[in-house]
Every structure is written in C-alpha cells, then in structure tokens.
Amino acid sequence: MSLALDVLTILSVSTGAFFFLAGTVGLLRFPDAFSRLHALTKADNLGLGLVVLGLLFQAGGLLAALKLVGAWLLALLAGATITQLIARTARTDRSTM
Amino acid sequence: MAFDIGLAILVLGVAAWTIAARDTFAAVIGFVAYGLLLALVWVRLAAPDVALTEAALGSGLTGGLLLGASTRLARTQGSAAIDKPSAIIRRAAAVLCTLVSAGLGAIVLLLPEPAPTLAPQAAANLAATGLGNPVTAVLMAYRAIDTLLETVVLLLALVGIWSLAPDQLWGGLPGRRYPVDRDGVLTFVAQLLVPVGILVGIYIFWVGSIAPGGEFQGATILAAMWIFATMARLADSPAVSRRWLRLVLVVGPAVFFAIGLAGFAIAGGFLAYPEAHAKLLILTIEVPVTLSIAATLALLVGGPPERALR
Amino acid sequence: MTDATLYGLCGAALVGLGLFGLIVHPQPLRKILAFNLIGGGAFLLFGVVARRGASAGLDGDPVPQALVITGLVVAFAATALAVALLLRLFQETGRATLRSDDSQP
C-alpha cells in the first residue's frame, strides 16, 4: 500500500516539476510581458497543485492534508493578484510609451 | 545528502547572481529568492523557528524594504557606474574574499569533536519554565535579558529613522499615500487575506510556547498584514506623534522591564521567574511584546515621516 | 561530511561572496544587499554549531538558534536604518553615492 502511495507521489511531483520547467521556459522565451505572465500562472498553479497532490499521499493525517491544500490555495490567490497587478502596470506602461 | 548538496549549490548560485546582477531591481528579487532558499536550509539544519524568522523577516520584510528603496533610487543607477573600482582592486578584493572564505571554511572543518553543547541543560530545565519549545525557553527564560535588549534596539532604530524627517514633516505620517486601486484587485485580496493573516500571526505567536513559532515570527506576520492593508488603502499609517501609537510601541519593553525588576522581589534576581508562575509571567511579557514588535516592524518598513500632520 | 559541515562551508562561501559585493559595488543599496548576504552566511555558521550540538533528545542546540533569531531581527533593524539614511541622502543631494563631490562649494 505504501509503495503504491510512494509511486503516486513520485509521479505527481515529477509531473508538477515538469510543469514548473515548462513555465520557466515560457518565462525565458516568450516575447512580451503578457505572454510570459500567461505561461507562468497557468504552468505554476498547475505545477504547484500537482506537487501538493503528490504530498497529500504522504501527509500524516487530515489536518496536515488540509494545511497543504490551504498553502496551495493561498499561493493561487497571491499569484492571481500579482499577475493582475503586473499585467495592468504593463498595459499602462505600453500605452504611455 | 544529495538534496543538501543541490540546495547549497542553489543558494550559492542565487547569492552569486544577487552580487553579479547589473540591475538593482533584479538583485533585490534575487535576494528575496535567496532568503526563501535559506529558510529551506534552516529547516534542513533542524531549526524551524529560525526558518520561520528568516522567511518572514529576512526575506519578506527586508525584501519589501529593499524593493521600495530600489524603485525610488532607480534614477541613480547609471550615475554610479563611474565609481566602479578598477580591475586591480576587483582582483585584490577577490583574493581577499577567497582567503576569508577559506579561513572560515577551515574553521568549520576543524570544529571540535565532540561538539560542545548546551542542549542537555536546556532540555533539563525546560519543565521548570513550563514551556515546550526549547528555543522559546532560551529567548524568554534563560536569555531573557537578550530579548529585552533586542526590543530596545528595535525601538532605538525606529527613533533613528524618525529623526531623519525634515523639520517641516516632524511628527507627520510615515510612508507615502498609495494610489487608489481602481480595479479593486488589491482591495479585494486584502479584505480576504488580512483577517486570515492576522489569525495566522496570532496562532504562530501562541503556539510558539510548545511548537516552532514565537513572538517574533507572529509579530512579523502581523506587521506584514498591516503593511498590506495600507497598500490596499484599507487603512492609513497613524502620525508618528500620536500618543496611542507611542504607547503601543513602548508597552512591550516596559512590561518586560517591569517584570524583570519585579523578579528581584519575587524570585531573587533580574528577570528571574518563580517556578510556580513562570509560564504565566512569560505569557504576560509575550503578549505586549508581540504587539509592540509588530508595530515597530511595520513602522521600520514605513520609514521616516513623509507627509505633514494636518 | 555531514549536512551541517556542508552548510557551514556554504555559509563561509556566502560571507566571501558578500564581502566581494560590499567592496566592489559603488551603489550603497548594493552594499546593503551584500551586507545582508554576509549576515546570512554568518548566521549559517551559528546554525552549524547548533546542529552539531544535538543531544538530550533535541535536534539542535537551542541557544545558538535563539542567538540567530535575535541576530536576524537586529539585522533587519540595521538594514531599515541604513535604507532610511540612504533615501534621505538621495532626497538631500539628488545622488545616491558615498563619494564626496569635490565640485560642490
């Protein structure tokens, strides 16, 4: 049973890490701020979700699992806010150039 | 072990980038990332209290402070280029720094074995303090005078910052007035997050007596929530001449000092606690100290008064 | 080599890196950043001593850990004061440099 859980954890965390890698490649290769933001938020939120999913299999109890999910939701919220703010600043910068 | 090697290489890489980056803004972002990685290192060194403090204070508040400063100083970026030291000085500095690092590395490798430690004494006296977290016991019982002086040092730094205000702004409001958020994104998130953050901060302070946490970590989170609320225009900084603000700042060290003096009467020494009431006294000190430190940290980030008192 | 020794060597390297940045960068804000790096490295050395002192059921000696917490808080206060001084210098002179200008009367 625990072997199956370990395999699931490794699979989820590896997929999550791959998504983070994809997001970083997007950050480095995309031409302008908006496409970079798009790549980052989509890939990083999904990547973090998969990593948290993988860790849920290893969590010792319901409270620890809830804390992990809570951390993911907070990161989601913070990421969404920052993306909005950066995108707005980029748009006003572009319109004043 | 492989994870530790990878983490150490990552920390050194990000630190090297912080030093080598051309743009100051990029260097500050690198510093924030370095702080978070350092918090991971502290977890690997079995010091979760220090990891919490590093992530919140060393990376979070310091990063915010430096980001604000770097945006204000952005115009001076280019003019400092003429002051760059010559190649000879850079090479000599590199040699000097390599020697310093090598010396410190040699000390690390030659540390005495078996390692001297105060852990047995700390653990043996833990029951007498009524606490479950040995680091909090060190901070609030064994070396309480260091913590008392630390709160005073924070206040002195704040007084130093306030004294930098120009004459006409003396006693005014610290920090600038943030622009109104027309789309409401920051306001919405602040209304959602600040209550949660305050709860988390109080919880981390409260649980510090039995688990990793404590007043400094909790106070940092409370200070960060205040700064967030001012950024979202949900609140404005009070003027530094307000009496209630100064009372809040001083109540922590004052209560600490008073209980310390009372220690002469009830337990025979400065900051000594009678065994039966140690936990209660420590709690009585910790609550006002957390409040004062939260206010002090928030005001330290705010800076000297920039808007005159109306 | 234990993890503690590895992180100790990392801390020693950080002190060297920070010292290099402190000497080489002309902008005061970069010097403040480098100074914080030196601080981080020095605290890691404390952390190594704490980790090696694990005994009596504790994972680390709590006394150096408490010293590091105090040090982090005081380092933040010092950074805040340094940044405030720098911003005031910028407000007064319009330049953020530590070099005294000989052309000013």
CB A27 within 8 A of CB A83: no
For residue B305, the SS3 value is: strand
Residue B37 has pLDDT above 90, yes or no: yes
What is the 8-class DSSP label of residue B190? Answer: H
Please give, rounded to a whole number of angstroms, the shortest distance from the CA of B190 to a CA of chain A: 10
**Residue C40, pLDDT score:** 95
- Identify whether C104 is part of a domain: no
User: pLDDT digits over B149-165, tens only?
Assistant: 999 999 999 999 999 98
- Identify whether C91 is part of a domain: yes
Q: Does C93 touch chain B (CB under 8 A)?
A: no
Residue A34 CB contacts under 8 Å (≥ 6 apart), including other chains? A87, A90
For chain B, the average pLDDT equals: 90
**Could you give the CA distance from residue A66 to residue B73 in angstroms, rounded to a whole number?**
43
Query: Burial, B182: exposed, middle or buried (Cβ in 10 Å; 0-12, 13-18, 19+)?
Result: exposed
pLDDT band at A7 (very low <50, low <70, confident <90, very high): very high
From chain A, pick out residues whose CB is under 8 angstroms from the CB of B186.
Answer: 81, 85
User: pLDDT digits over B105-137, tens only?
Assistant: 999 999 888 888 888 888 888 888 889 899 999
Choose between B65 and B81: higher pLDDT.
Answer: B65
Other beta carbons within 10 angstroms of residue C67's beta carbon come to: 19
Is the ipTM of this structure higher than 0.90? yes
Torsion of CA A42, A43, A45, A51, to 10 degrees: 160
**Strands, DSSP E only, in chain B?**
173-174, 305-307
- Identify whether C17 is part of a domain: yes
**Residue C94, pLDDT score:** 81
User: Domain range for residue C31?
Assistant: 3-95
The answer to pTM > 0.80 is yes
How many domains does chain C fold into? 1
**Residue C101, pLDDT score:** 63
- Identify whether C105 is part of a domain: no
For residue B181, the SS3 value is: coil
The CATH number of the domain holding residue C87 is: 1.10.287.3510
Residue C102 has pLDDT above 70, yes or no: no
B304: alpha, beta or left, given left = phi > 0 and alpha = psi -120 to 50?
Answer: beta
**Residue B234, pLDDT score:** 86
CB pairs under 8 A between B and C: 281
Name the residue in chain B with its Cα closest to that of A76.
B189
CB contact (8 A) between residue C8 and residue B41: no
Chain B neighbours, 3+ Cβ pairs < 8 A:
A, C
pLDDT band at B265 (very low <50, low <70, confident <90, very high): confident
Strand-pairing partners, residue C71, are none
The number of residues in chain C equals 105
- Identify whether C81 is part of a domain: yes
- Identify whether C71 is part of a domain: yes
Residue C105 has pLDDT above 50, yes or no: no
CB contact (8 A) between residue B189 and residue A85: no
Handedness of CA B232, B238, B244, B250 (dihedral sign): positive
**Residue C104, pLDDT score:** 46
User: Whose structure tokens read 């907070």?
Assistant: A74
**Could you give the CA distance from residue B108 to residue B274 in angstroms, rounded to a whole number?**
40
